[in-house]
Structure 1
Amino acid sequence: MNRPEADGDGVPWPTAPAALAVLTGVGAVQAGRSLPVALGLGVAVLATSAVLARRRAAGWPVVVALTVPAAGVAAACWGDPRNLGWFGVCVVVGWAALAAPPRPAVLAGAATAAVFVVQLVTVSREPGWLTWIAGTTFTVGACAFARRQRDLVERLHAAHSELAQRARTDERHRIAREMHDLVGHSLTVTLLHLGSARLALDDDRDAARASLTEAERAARDSLDDVRAAVGLMRAAGPPAALPAPTATDIAALVERYRRAGARVELDVRGDLGTLSPNRSLAAYRIVQESLTNAVRHGDGSPIGVRVDVAGGRARITVRNAAPARPHRVPGTGVVAMRERAGALGGHLTAGPDDGGWLVEAVIPG
């Protein structure tokens, strides 16, 4: 079912103009005006209010412009507090309160109340005028409150949309980091095995065959992990996550690099199992990315990895003895590591150190 079209400030079209026209005409007839006069006032009020509604007028302009249909209602109903046409005045002040800020709306209500006060003083002392004053005052207050609630809902929707967009952006960044770590590590290990196989091809065919086998296994594992990740992203329902490695898997990670020919020394102090899941995953990924970069940019020099854990806090140091390349700048992997550490309240630095390259990260407990 289609919703009635509304102007930009919540006044439905054509409900308000039609109501004003009908009430003006009825008020004119009830006040004893001639039929041509009643029709003329009704058409004039309909035309002016329709223009306002279609143009989506708001603020001070709509309050000023609404004086025209308000004058038409007053002209039709003047002098009789029992005239039903005065409900048109309630429509006018309600429109003003919905379409304008509080100050113009209150001014419109005060001006309308002044019209009834004038009639109370100059036309008759009937208590009906006080009833209309109370009615218009209540209408202004109720519609102003409705406008405030509507604005609040719109701001909440905007904030919700912003949060949803931010969540989508964060999720894309998370997926990009995971895929970067996964593919970068697997390709680096595969290339190490392929390089070992190439060097051993002429002198030791068994060693070359073993290296090729390890390279094939690493490539297949990487492909399976990528397929699993893509499958989870395509799955319906809430997003799932791949089984995440932990800090206790760092030893196995280092061993894979050693089998591929890298010279890596691991020094672990403390119980890696005491780290929380988020900190444990961050520690593993930081070591993984640091080793990937050290192997990719190094010259085969020894790599030292040290992980200190105490009180749920982790300090990670990865030192590559190879000299840093000239003009080398941190890449996306370093940025991803900094983001991981920063998300947990820690920090990470990476740069030249004593002729080599040093990565230091602190993840607080």
Structure 2
Amino acid sequence: MPFVVPRSPELPAATWGSYGMTTLAVVPLIWRRRAPVAVLAAIVLIGGVYKVALDGPGQPLPYAGLIAFYTVALQCAPRVRVAVGLATVAAVALSVGWKTGTARELLFTLFVSAAAYALGRLQYTRQAYTEAVEARAAELERANRIEAEQAAARERARIAREMHDILSHAVSIMIVQAEAGPVAVRRAPERAEAAFEAIAETGRDAMAQLRAMLGVLRTAEASPRSPQPGVAELRELLERVRASGPRVSYERTGSVRELPAALEATVHRVVQEALTNVVKHAGASAVDVRLEYGAESLTVTVTDDGRGPGGSSSGGHGLIGIRERAAAHGGTAQTGPGPDGRGYAVRVVLVTSPQEVGT
């Protein structure tokens, strides 16, 4: 301002040295975030030199020092802040005592310095809160992404099990019927016609289920799934297996009741896969399917009189799928030799109580 508005004659003239020193007191602020304490010390030192050596019209306002003190409050550790605060109070007291020595100026300077410190701590709190919110949002996003990936993996596994069960069962029945067809044509033409009709019916059923599943996969928007086969559809499944050769018995014991749709679908798929292994590997003449309804569980047992573990244990992914389905309902699956070591048995225990299923 002295270069724009003339100063009073009794005041010292404006000099470039005075303004150079004033500017020098501001330059350290460039490094205030890297070394806040050193910058504050440099600004205080430059201000002291100015007062002692020049005391010209440069008017070194205290803003640079307040900004440096604010930065110390914002970035430094508690011990450093306490030490710098005590040193600042001492420096303010000496400066005021040397300059005017009035209580008014001392209180005003201390109040302004305390306000700068309080603003620094307030900004620290705001930054910490913002960082916490951002970290929480990032963590939530990661959790959602992981959950979505896990859900997609579970859905892929479910679809793989469904397609395996559908195709494996249908193809096994069709192969058995097709192999028996030529023999039946020569010996019993009426049985050959039934065999070919069973092949066609099995193929049509498999195609219908695959179309329904592929339709869900193609649909971009979420849509209700078509009902999955349940316990009621077991009789139709058993009839198709009977048509392929073995005698099939079916019994339900205990407190027979309606079960949740997902659990009934699991029962159907477990029986389907067990019968598929019987048709493909066991060479059995008789199969027994039993459902035992307990108070909080349902036990599914499929027993055959075939070649035993050596023949039917090669179920591949089928037995793995049975164990996965049982585990999904809090149950267990056991496979091994049948009664008296003859044939093969698949025993699956599924939890049916609402409390257990919910967990």
In the TM superposition, 1:21-40 aligns within 5 A as: 34=19, 38=23
Of residues 236-245 and 289-298 in structure 1, the stretch that sits farther from structure 2 once superposed is 236-245
The C-alpha deviation readout for 1:133-160, integer Å capped at 9, x for no partner, is 2121222222222222222222222111
Contact 2:29 2:64 in 1 (8 A): no
Partner of residue 207, structure 1: 191
Change (3 A) 1:172 1:329: same
Match among 137, 145, 156 for residue 121 of structure 2: 137
Which range moves more in the overlay, 84-93 or 118-127?
Answer: 84-93
Match of 2:7 in 1: none
Q: 2:246 maps to what in 1?
A: 262
| Distance (Å, rounded) in 1 between the aligned partners of 2:18 and 2:318 | 84
2:320 to 335, 338, 344: 335
Matched ranges for 1:314-325 at <5 A: 314-325=298-309
Secondary structure in 2 matching 1:318:
strand
- Note the C-alpha offset of 1:325: 4.8
Which residue in the other structure is 1:156 paired with?
140
1:362 aligns with 2:339: no
- The match for 2:162 is 178
Contact 2:326 2:350 in 1 (8 A): yes
For structure 2, the 5+ residue unaligned runs are 1-16, 49-59, 97-105, 353-359
| Alpha-carbon distance in 2 for matches of 1:236, 1:246 | 27
Ranges of 4+ aligned residues in structure 1 off by more than 6 Å: none
**Among 293, 303, 320, which residue is 2:287 paired with?**
303
Cα drift, residue 169 of structure 1: 0.7
CA distance in 2, matches of 1:118, 1:183: 87
CA distance in 1, matches of 2:84, 2:142: 35
What are the superposed Cα offsets for residues 193-238 of structure 1, whole Å, 9 maximum, x if unpaired?
Answer: 2122122121223322331232123213212321221121110112
Q: Quick one: which amino acid aligns to residue 352 of structure 1?
A: P
Tell me if the contact between 1:268 and 1:307 (Cα under 8 Å) persists in the aligned partners. Answer: yes
**Aligned AA for 1:147?**
E
TM-score by length of 2: 0.74
Q: What's the TM-score once normalised by structure 1's chain length?
A: 0.73
Q: Cα distance, 1:85 vs. partner? A: 6.9
Q: How does 1:10-159 map onto structure 2 within 5 Å?
A: 34=19, 38=23, 42=27, 46=30, 66-68=33-35, 71-72=38-39, 75-76=42-43, 83=63, 86-87=66-67, 90=70, 94=74, 96=75, 106=78, 113=85, 116-124=88-96, 125=106, 126=109, 127-159=111-143
Cα 1:323–1:70 shift into 2, 3 Å? same
Structure 1: segments with no counterpart, 5+ residues: 1-31, 50-65, 97-103
The worse-fitting range, judged by mean Cα deviation, of 214-223 and 299-308 is 214-223
Distance 1:120 1:241, change over 3 A: farther
**Aligned in 2, Cα 1:307/1:128: closer, same or farther, shift over 3 Å?**
same
Once the 2 structures are TM-superposed, how far is the Cα of residue 338 of structure 1 from its aligned partner? 1.3
Give the conservation status (yes or no) of the 8 Å contact 1:263–1:303.
Answer: yes
Query: What is the Cα deviation at residue 313 of structure 1?
Result: 2.8
Secondary structure of 1:315's counterpart equals strand
Query: How many Å separate the matches in 2 of 1:108 and 1:223?
Result: 76
**1:197 and 2:177 matched:** no
Letter in structure 2 aligned against 1:68:
A
Residue 203 of structure 2 is matched in structure 1 by 219
Describe how 1:262-301 pairs up with structure 2 within 5 A: 262-270=246-254, 272-301=256-285
Aligned twin of 1:346: 331
- 1:130 corresponds to which letter in structure 2? A
Indicate how the Cα distance of structure 1 residues 330 and 295 shifts in structure 2: closer, same or farther if over 3 A, else same.
closer
State the number of aligned residues: 308
Q: Distance in 2 between matches of 1:108 and 1:167?
A: 50
- For residues 131 and 306 of structure 1, do their structure 2 counterparts lie closer, same or farther at Cα, with a shift above 3 Å needed? same
Per-residue CA deviations over 1:268-297 (Å, capped at 9, x if unaligned) read 224654222222111111111111111111
1:56 equivalent in structure 2: none
Q: Is the 8 A contact 2:167 2:206 kept in 1?
A: yes
**Residue 235 (str. 1) matches residue 219 (str. 2):** yes
Q: Against the structure 1 CA distance between its residues 277 and 117, is the aligned structure 2 distance closer, same or farther, given a 3 Å change threshold?
A: farther
C-alpha displacement of 1:355: 2.2
After superposition, the CA RMSD in angstroms is: 3.1
CA deviation after TM superposition for structure 1 residue 246, in Å: 1.1
For residues 87 and 247 of structure 2, the distance between their equivalents in structure 1, rounded to whole angstroms, comes to 93
